[in-house]
Each structure stands twice: as structure tokens, then as C-alpha cells.
Structure 1
């Protein structure tokens, strides 16, 4: 009897520890998502608190994004020889301290520096967390494991961002950074407790990680994210304006709109992980035209409140289907330098953020209206599909592992 029960008990314990390890990493993503997106909801309060203009307050968001772009490759390369658990711990501790430094930042210039610092560990943390999660499961479940880690970021848009925004509006905008600091500290403790230790790869080095940059498939995967996902951000950046000026909703409905978008992101991220496990490139080929179609429908549906709300959820969901597949593709394209390749995905997504917001602003400035960014996004998704097809054709001539 004892011999028949032992394997089941061990399996149950293993499953529980796997879930706790992934939850610990997802909690780090929750902290990152909260600090990244709650700033947008508190921009007016920050303007008044620091006595700066709206564009100057917006620079705080840009400063964070710049930190992500710079920090992802730098920290991933510098941490190449560290055990991945130790790197994840160090990055989450860095995030915690950087956010607490934003809480005490005395002036605008210092705040710019602390927001830049807060963005530095973003991409590298998601990169190493994705590698850790993928290593804990069978190869056929990597997409699912990565999507569970990324779920922390998407759930933050549903829970963390609205909660931090409410606290900031009612009790002081600087509380945002305390909230993130606490979440970061909890995540650090959970990672230390539940993520298994694994020694660094004996051949790991900065030079080996940087070798990922020599692979054309790595650059093509990044380009798919920058172009194809740019439409997602072109729409999201101006969603409040679209809902109020086009759909005719009151401003009090905007939190509901953002929450619906976040719920769509959660659903899309989870489903995206499942379908990426079946076929990574097949997922990319199908999702990009789906994004284009959803954005065109959104541009039409945005003229009526009821249909606009439906399409807000759909666009959030369809766009998020792409992220787990892109993350997995980068791991496949650079198996000997996974941390850097995986981290660069988040640099690419932040470039997509800047590109989408910029192009959306251009067409609005041209007088094309607030639904025009969605149509720009549809074009970007089609262009991203073209890059994906090119990547697939090159892979036929030279397989990734050849």
C-alpha cells in the first residue's frame, strides 16, 4: 500500500511546488504591470504634485519605457553567469528599491531618474522568469508556463492598476510606489521560497548571450513584435478619447473600459499559451490577421457604446494571444542564449508601444479622427504578418537548430 501511494503523493507535491513557483514569478509580473500602467491613470495628480505640464508628466512614462529598452539586454547579459533564481531575486529586489526611491523623490528631475531605474529590470525579469518557467515543465507545455508568468502583467491591468489608481487619487499619488514596493517585496520572498535553485550553465557568459544578436531569426521575431504589436498600443493609447468622443460614453465609464481591456488581455494571454504549445509559428500566422480584422471591426463598432465595449474586450484578447508565441519563438531561435533573447521581447514590445502611440497621434493630428489609430494598427498587423511569413520561409531553407 505504501509503495502505491508514494508516487501520487510525490506527484501532488511536485505539482503544488510548480504552481507556487510560477505564482511567485507571476507576482513579480504583477508588480511590474502595476508600476508601468498605473502611472497613466494618475498623470493629472502627478502633474499637480510635481507642478509640471502634461507633456513633462508624460516624459515620466517615456523614461520608464526607455529603462525597459536599455535594461533588458544589459541585465540579461551581465547576469548570464548567475543562477537564474539569483538573477530573478536580484532584479525583483532592484525593482522594489527603485519604486521606493520614486516615493521619496523630491523633484521632477529625480523622479525621471527613478522611473528610468524602475524600468531597467522589467524586460530582464520577464526574460529570466520565462526561461525558468519553461524549464520547469515538459517542452510541450512551455507556452502554457510562459503565459502563466505573463498573466501577472495582464492581471495587473484588471486588479493592480485600478486599485493603485484609486489609492493614488484618494490618498496621494506617491502611494503607488509604496504599493508596488510591497508587492515586489512579497514576490522576492516567494521566489526565494518556492522557485527551485538551478546552477548556472557551465558555458554561460556575456559573450554567449550576446551571440543571440547574430541570429537573423531573433531579429525577425523582435520585428514581428515591434510592427505587429504596434497596432495594439496604437489603439490602447487613445482608447479613453475614442470611448468618450466617438462612442459617447461618460468619463466615469473609462475605468470599466480599461478593466474590460484588461480582462481581454488575461483571457488572450492564457489561450495564447495553450495554442502556442501546439504550433508557435502557426499561432503567429493566425493571430496577426485576426488582430487586423479585430481592429477594423473596432473602428466601426466604436461609434456605438454597446458594440464598442464588446470590441474593447475582443481587441484586448486577440492582441494578447500573440505574446506567449513571440516569447516561445525567441527561446526557440536562440536556445544557447535564452535569457537575453527572451528579455529582448519586452524591449521590442516597448518599442511597439512607442511606435503605435506615435503613429496613432500622427493620424489624429492629421484630422482623421480617434478611430484612425485602430486602422493604422490593422495595417501594422498585416505588415507584421509579412515579417512572420519571411521568417517562416527562411526557416524552411535553414531550420532553427541546423
Structure 2
């Protein structure tokens, strides 16, 4: 920001998983630039206009219309306002030239900051414009700061090419990684105005380092009367294991970018616990593992699941609980019983089957499925002497089931 204010251009990419604060970073940058009196243009690609040339660029650079937007629209539609003619490749190139010339004119008057959120969802022509602006800024030494934010897990060839090209021109990349324990404590202190107590610090791990989910969990606990703030300390009234499930709305809002089959697969997987195998999920969904590859590819790319080598584990415990809560109570019980039956018929470990039956019998509507005491999903049993691990099989402390 100081560089562009002094007349030196730059390009920055902000990357991170959903909820890590990409949009917040861009909003802070825009506010700072406006405070410095710089010319600022900002916007967000919504993914709905990827088939409309320059939709994201026009909404960012000329959101309120004006002569340039009108001229670009005329070039894209054709001189007579009809599809075709200059609305083809020649029209797009002419529109690009016009928009680059306008940004150059702005730069001649003073420093310019352009910020585009969700660039991974932008139309190809807008991506090409971004590349041309970066090239013009480098070659001509324009006082132009370009900042784009993207979800790193979204793989689009044209977006990947843009990012590689920007990196070759010296663009800086800011990666927003998940919060570590100290950063999560600091975030809670800032949000609540008090130091988190031991229970709250332990429960913060449910967010898996995701700032957005950490904030929503804290606000949810506060709204439910489960969070007390006083004497400079914020503390939960219940132990983390006793907390109710996060609201299902957390899963729906946080995972709105997933395709329907992927979301459905995650909901089924959430019922199986924090860790599940592809074989287990295939038995529950009555599909061979090879057909699950497509459904799981998107959650894996988004960093929602961790591949342990033999199974998949949910990276964000709160998200799994919210996914399970998104299944109506009666249906959840039936699905868990069906899952237990399918795993039993397939010869899976008896303690694993017992765990699912326990979840079915101890999962009232709106609550998270309860872990079977002593099993791997029971926090008190992890690493505890004598604790059962469902991976140990029937000979590892499992129980014999009759008539499952």
C-alpha cells in the first residue's frame, strides 16, 4: 500500500480455504486505501456470470455504469446492439483495450488500487483483463496495486495459468493458513474482550483453526447461555464433551460451495464419526468405493478431509457435528442403524458396529451423536490405557453382537 501510494505498482494474491478471512483482508485493504485518498475499485466474482465476458471486471471497475461500461457492452453485443458481429473475439479484444486504457488514464491521475474477491469464479475474459493490467503495470511502471483473493482448492486451468503468470511477474502470495492454538486464543480474546478459560480453549479446537467457524461457535455458545464473561475471563459453563451440537446452519452456510452429491456424502460420513474408511462409506451409501471417488474429490480438495493413509478424518470436528445435526433426528437414528447393519453384514469389527448402534440410541434430535465410552471418538479414551480403538477389530476389546 505504501509502495503504490509512492507511485510503485504491485500485484498480490490472497489464498485460503473458505472461512480463513480472504474477504476480510480485502475489505481491510480497501478501507486503508480509501483512508489514504487513493482511487479504489473493488468487487467480487459471484460465479453466476462466468459465461458472460468481462462480467466480473465490469462489476469491479465500473459497478455504477458510465460511458465506459456502456461502450464495452456495445462492443460485446455488436455495434447495432445485436448478438454476433463485434460481440465475438474481436469485440472482446476491443473491450479489453478500452478497459485497460481507462485504468491507464486513472493511473495518470494518481495511484489506483483494484481488488477482486473470489477471482477463482471470474469469467475467462475478466481473468485475461487482470493479466493484461498486471503486464501493463509492470512494463509501464504504473502506480497500480492489483489484489485478488481466491480459494486455493478450486482448480480451474485458466485461473491456475493466471496465478502462474502473475507469480512470474513478481506477484506476492499471501496464504491464510488455519489458526494455531495461540492464534485461536488471541482471536477469542479479541472477539469476547476477555481471556478464554481452560474449557473454552479446549473447545476452540472444534473449529479446526478456521476463524469463521471459531467465531460462529463462540457466538452460538453465547446465544445459548453456555458462555460466561466476567472478571476478565470468558469460560464455558459445560465441559467440551457436554456441549450441544453446533447448528446445522453452520454446515449449510460453510459448505454451500459443494455440489449436492459431495454434500450428501459428507453428511453420511459425519454419522460414521470423526474418521471413516471408504469401504464403510460405500457400505452405508450402497455404492462401490470407485463411485465415491467423484463425491469425495471436492471435499478433499477443499481441505475438509485429511487422508490418514487408511481412512479419512474430518479436519474440523465442529463441521462434522453440524453435518450430523443437519440430518433429522429420526432419520439419523435409522441411518445409523442401517449403517451398523451394513457393517455387521460385511464382517466389520464388532466394536465399530456397537459404536454406531450406541450413536443411534443416544442421539436425540438436534444433538450430536454421542461417542461410545472407551472408543476412539471418545475424547477421554484417546490414548488412554484400556481405551478401545475400532481399528483393533473384534479381538481388540470389541463386543459380540447378536441379531444385528
Q: What is the TM-score with the length of structure 1 in the denominator?
A: 0.23
Q: Which has the higher contact order (CA 8 A, sep 6+)?
A: 1
The structure whose Rg is larger is 2
The structure with the largest helix share of the pair is 1
